[in-house]
């Protein structure tokens, strides 16, 4: 997706830019509300992430202006103001979702997926597949070749993330942020341990190994 981020806090912007770009999104970033409003009205975006408190033009005014001009791009509003009335105000002017700081990147990504899915009318995915591996998100069950695979909660989350990115290399940073909710590298082998356990359960006893390690890059699940 092509995303516009309007955020004046340097650390927050750095954190979001890193996570979004690692997810494969193309992101334009503006620090001031004035510049952000200009970009929002002159460029096409699939989604926008707008901070509530911005210099020159605040987030509420940006959303109001966009909706008044019939711009229906999905918008998530970020804020350090966690009062109910502030959230209600943001939603009333036209924001599709409202996220209070501090937040985890995985929650923001999930909300981003949800609002863009609603706008496009796409139905939520309930089943993920890779070759003969099947994951049912509703019953939270996994089977391979018809055989039930028993996974711990973190193993399920790790496999789900790999399967949602089927055929794509995911980095350690992406896994730490989206599966463990870390926005830093704890310098442990937690990922290696869980990948090893997952391989034992998903690949052992089958002719084809689906979980792949790409040294220096990350991990991938693929049937090829």
CA angle, residues 15, 85, 57, in degrees to nearest 5: 55
Enumerate the CATH 3.40.50.2300 domain ranges in the chain, comma separated: 2-120
Of 30-34, 58-62, 118-122, the range with the lowest mean pLDDT is: 118-122
Most confident of 35-39, 102-106, 125-129: 35-39
CA 128 vs. chain centroid, Å, equals 17
**Residue bearing tokens 């139905």:** 123
Of 45-49, 69-73, 80-84, 154-158, the range with the lowest mean pLDDT is: 80-84
- Considering the chain, what is the average pLDDT of its residues? 89
* Beta strands per DSSP E along 7-57: 26-30, 47-51
Enumerate the CATH 1.10.10.10 domain ranges in the chain, comma separated: 127-221
Short-list 209, 123, 120, CA closest to 162 = 209
Local structure of 131: helix, strand or coil? coil
Task: Give the per-residue pLDDT at 85.
Answer: 80
- CB neighbours (10 Å) of residue 223? 12
Q: Is the pLDDT of residue 172 over 70?
A: yes
For residues 220 and 212, the answer to whether their CB atoms sit within 8 Å is yes
CA angle, residues 61, 66, 69, in degrees to nearest 5: 125
Task: Give the per-residue pLDDT at 191.
Answer: 92
Residues in the chain: 224
Tens-digit pLDDT profile for residues 57-77: 999 999 999 999 999 999 999
**Residue bearing tokens 């997926």:** 113
Helices and strands counted in the chain (H then E): 8, 11
Task: Give the per-residue pLDDT at 134.
Answer: 96
Is 2-120 in CATH node 3.40.50.2300?
yes
Domain covering 127-221, topology: Arc Repressor Mutant, subunit A (1.10.10)
Q: What does the pLDDT average to over 154-177?
A: 90
């Amino acid at each position: 997706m092509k995303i516009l981020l309007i955020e004046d806090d340097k650390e927050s912007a750095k954190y979001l830019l890193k996570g979004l770009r690692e997810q494969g999104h193309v992101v334009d970033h503006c620090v001031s509300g004035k510049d952000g409003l200009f970009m929002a009205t002159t460029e096409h975006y699939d989604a926008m992430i707008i901070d509530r408190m911005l210099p020159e033009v605040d987030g509420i005014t940006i959303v109001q202006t966009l909706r008044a001009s019939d711009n229906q791009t999905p918008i998530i509003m970020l804020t350090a103001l966690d009062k109910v009335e502030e959230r209600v105000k943001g939603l009333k002017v036209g924001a599709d979702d409202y996220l209070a700081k501090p937040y985890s990147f995985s929650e923001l990504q999930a909300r981003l997926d949800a609002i863009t899915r609603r706008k496009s009318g796409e139905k939520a995915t309930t089943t993920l597949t890779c070759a003969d591996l099947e994951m049912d998100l509703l019953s939270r069950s996994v089977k391979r070749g018809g055989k039930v695979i028993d996974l711990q909660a973190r193993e399920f989350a790790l496999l789900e993330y790999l399967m949602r990115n089927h055929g794509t290399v995911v980095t350690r940073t992406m896994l730490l942020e989206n599966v463990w909710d870390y926005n830093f590298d704890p310098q442990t082998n937690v990922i290696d341990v869980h990948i090893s356990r997952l391989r034992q359960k998903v690949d052992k006893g089958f002719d084809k190994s689906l979980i792949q390690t790409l040294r220096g890059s990350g991990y991938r699940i693929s049937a090829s």
